[in-house]
Amino acid sequence: MKKPKLSDLEKLAKEAGSILRAGYNKTHQVEYKSTIDLVTEVDRQAEEFLLKSILDKFPEHHILAEEKGVVKGNNDHIWYIDPLDGTVNYAHNIPIFCVSIAYAYKRDLRLATVYDPMRDEIFSAERGKGAWLNGVPIRVSQVTTLERSLLVTGFPYDMWNTSNDNLANYGRFAKQTQGVRRLGAAALDLCYVGAGRFEGFWETSLQPWDVAAGGLIAEEAGAKVTDMEGEGDYVSYPVSILAAPSGLHKKMMEVLESKDD
């Protein structure tokens, strides 16, 4: 069965990104999936474009897409699609969002692309070959201490109703680092770790399409990427993520494990 090339993912991400760019700063039809989890008509348009384009070329492949759910196919070939990561930002006209596309062969993430249409930044990676930003290789930060680290995290959509709300972790890291940002797009958070803009990223209660592409990009840029328990399979449920250069990954793990509340 035919496999995609990295250039296929990049072309798809750029085209979907132009749909996001065209809809940016306009009035949207917002629907609520839960109290604070929303979706706009642009998420759906970009996803429909991606699904149609992938199935035209790779009709037997299996796809996991945020809005449509599962498109059943041969799961030796799995695509992970987030047509608009950062949708709350998008609905508030905050220009921090992206398209995220990953491809796994026999459960191994092989290709990844994350496209930020507002900055025209395309992050890509191919397993074993490296990670790039606009074609230039990227590398994780060389900082080795938490004190010199700028971290990023996010909070789950069900945080009003769960004690697994990440607030205690946030507090602990905020008091041991240069700061902890909350940008609102997990795929970009991971790419920024790969590019050395942030030293590390952690988040809980995510979905496979939030982390698949950014995870491979961060790994190929030199990060250690695991779930928050330190396990290597970060796309299987329950999805959580911890990405940082390996020395810092260890230090972040220790902070996450030091829960006393």
Contacts to ligand IPD by CB under 6 A: 66, 82, 85-88, 154-156, 184-186, 203, 206, 210
The entry of Ca ion, ligand IPD, none near residue 215 (CB within 5 to 8 angstroms by kind) is: none
How far is it, in rounded angstroms, from Cα 223 to Cα 112?
Answer: 15
The full length of the chain comes to 261
The entry of Ca ion, ligand IPD, none near residue 185 (CB within 5 to 8 angstroms by kind) is: ligand IPD
Minimum Å distance from CB 37 to ligand IPD?
6
Give how far the C-alpha of residue 255 lies from the chain's centroid of Cα atoms, to the nearest Å.
22
Task: Take residue 48 and report the two structure tokens written for it.
Answer: 């429909």
Residues 80, 52 contacting (CB under 8 angstroms):
no
Q: Which stretch binds Ca ion (CB under 5 A): 79-87, 125-133, 142-150, 151-159?
A: 79-87
Measured from the CB atom, is 132 or 192 closer to ligand IPD?
Answer: 192
Measured from the CB atom, is 11 or 182 closer to ligand IPD?
Answer: 182
190: nearest Cα among 159, 221, 165: 221
Helix, strand, or coil (residue 22): helix
Helix, strand, or coil (residue 222): coil
Q: Which stretch binds Ca ion (CB under 5 A): 75-83, 110-118, 119-127, 130-138?
A: 75-83
Task: Take residue 19 and report the two structure tokens written for it.
Answer: 């749909």
44 beta partners:
none
Measured from the CB atom, is 4 or 156 closer to ligand IPD?
Answer: 156
Measured from the CB atom, is 156 or 194 closer to ligand IPD?
Answer: 156
Minimum Å distance from CB 43 to Ca ion?
6
Q: 61 φ, ψ to 5°?
A: -75, 155
Q: Which stretch binds Ca ion (CB under 5 A): 155-163, 204-212, 228-236, 244-252?
A: 204-212
Helix, strand, or coil (residue 124): strand
For position 189 contacting Ca ion by CB under 5 A, the verdict is no
